[in-house]
Amino acid sequence: MPDLYPLIRPLLRALPAETAHRLTVTALSCGLGPLIAGRGDPDSPSLRQTLWGRDFPNPVGIAAGFDKEAEVPDALLRLGFGFAETGTVTPRPQPGNPKPRLFRLYEDRALINRLGFNSKGLDQTLARLRGRRRTGIVGVNLGKNRDNENAAADYLDGVRRVGRLADYFVINVSSPNTPGLRDLQRRDILENLLRQVVAARDEVAPGTPLLVKIAPDLGDAEREDIAAVADPSGGIDGIVIGNTTVARSPGLRSPHAGEAGGLSGLPLLAPSTALLGDIYRLTGGKIPLIGVGGIASAEHAYAKIRAGASLVQLYTALIFEGPALLGRIKSGLAELLRRDGFSTIAEAVGADHVVASPHRQQAGSRR
Ligand SMILES: Cc1cc2nc3c(=O)[nH]c(=O)nc-3n(C[C@H](O)[C@H](O)[C@H](O)COP(=O)(O)O)c2cc1C
């Protein structure tokens, strides 16, 4: 089937960014994904991986924020993503920030968003997750309501109510658009929060992986803190690295570069991959990492895998390149693995680090 996205792109571009996104999600929910994206080739067996006892057909996932309300996780899996992350969902519905709050930076291949956790709330997400046939891996990214001072209560609520409906949980402490949220990354606060969340997970959904999503803007000391807190002995199963950045690289050219909010896309590739490599080194490769930020090609995804990511996710590049990008990334990744003599993704994880071999031995046997 042909890739129709190049024909649709001018229409989407003419619409306000959020309207274009809504239209895309609606098209996916109507089953139009394969028509728009074309049908890709089957995944190469070298892309398969078992992590946390779950079988990932390929390592490329859709990042949180694309399908905040769990409207289209299965349509995204059918498009060829190896896994889908829904959310961020907050316990109660909340509108988020006033519009406009999403900006396309064409010249920089980037977006700035200050959505502020617009969410229809957990009830709706739960109803949708209950209605699925569960044919692929869908993680649930949990947040807190803006007006709740007691952050832990909201995350606990999320874990308890979602329970076994999630294939994995992500505790999002890194969105820049909810005041105070990123302070939860401070070592003492995070330790306390995660201890409670791990206990709740062990109660309602033992064995469901629990990940924490961090900001790309962490300094050296904060990186060490995160690595210490995320030790697997504490019950954390992985780290998502990372969210959008509040930093603005000096080279940005778009007229929207000065908008407040989180920047995603190409300018985030280098800093988020460097952070990923640091966290891999600091954690000694003992905990699986998901690399996110700026991926727009197979080479970018491969760089994250070699820096230490077992899985990768993307969002922003899809807006600029369309969904056929996914097939190009997957076939390109298989080719890069072949070129470098790796027979599986797991063998390439962390390959750029001198201490890669202990990780590689673990990769096959990790939960
Ligand atoms: C419009 C938009 C909304 C997002 N919403 C969320 C969200 O609700 N929760 C979250 O953890 N990350 C959210 N993100 C961050 C992405 O999941 C991802 O971490 C970030 O965009 C970097 O990846 P990218 O450069 O491939 O887009 C959002 C990103 C964008 C662009």
Left if phi > 0, otherwise alpha if psi is -120 to 50, otherwise beta: which for 123?
Answer: alpha
Predicted confidence (pLDDT) at residue 164 exceeds the cutoff of 70: yes
Which residue has the CA at smallest separation from atom 22 of ligand 1? 293
Position 98, amino acid? P
- What is the tens place of the pLDDT at every residue in 45-58? 999 999 999 999 99
- Which of 12, 108, 243 is the best mutation target for the ligand 1 pocket, counting ligand atoms within 8 Å of the beta carbon and taking the most? 243
Write down the mean pLDDT value for the chain: 91
**Which of 233, 222, 231 has the alpha carbon at shortest distance from 187?**
222
The rounded Å distance from CA 355 to ligand 1 centre is 31
pLDDT at 363: 40
Q: Which residue in this structure is represented by tokens 């959008």?
A: 244
**End-to-end Cα spacing for the chain:** 38
- Which of 21, 102, 240, 244 is the best mutation target for the ligand 1 pocket, counting ligand atoms within 8 Å of the beta carbon and taking the most? 244
Q: Is the CB of 24 under 6 A from ligand 1?
A: no
The rounded Å distance from CA 340 to ligand 1 centre is 31
Q: Which residue in this structure is represented by tokens 């900001």?
A: 215
Q: Is the CB of 294 under 6 A from ligand 1?
A: yes
- What is the tens place of the pLDDT at every residue in 307-356? 999 999 999 999 999 888 999 999 999 999 999 999 999 999 999 996 54
Q: Count CA atoms within 13 Å of residue 354 on its CB side.
A: 1
The rounded Å distance from CA 242 to ligand 1 centre is 9
The rounded Å distance from CA 313 to ligand 1 centre is 10
pLDDT at 101: 96
Q: Quick check: is 175 catalytic? A: yes
DSSP 8-state secondary structure symbol assigned to residue 26: H
The rounded Å distance from CA 243 to ligand 1 centre is 6
Ligand 1 atom showing the smallest separation from residue 244 Cα = 20
Q: Is the CB of 265 under 6 A from ligand 1?
A: yes
Q: What is the DSSP code string of 111-143?
A: EEE-----B--HHHHHHHHHTS---S-EEEEE-
pLDDT at 367: 32
- What is the tens place of the pLDDT at every residue in 226-246? 999 988 788 899 999 999 999
pLDDT at 84: 97
Q: Which of 251-285 are b and which e, b meaning 16 or more Cβ less than 10 Å from the residue's Cβ?
A: ebebebbebebbbbbbbbbebbbebbbbbbbbbeb
Tokens of 100: 């406009």
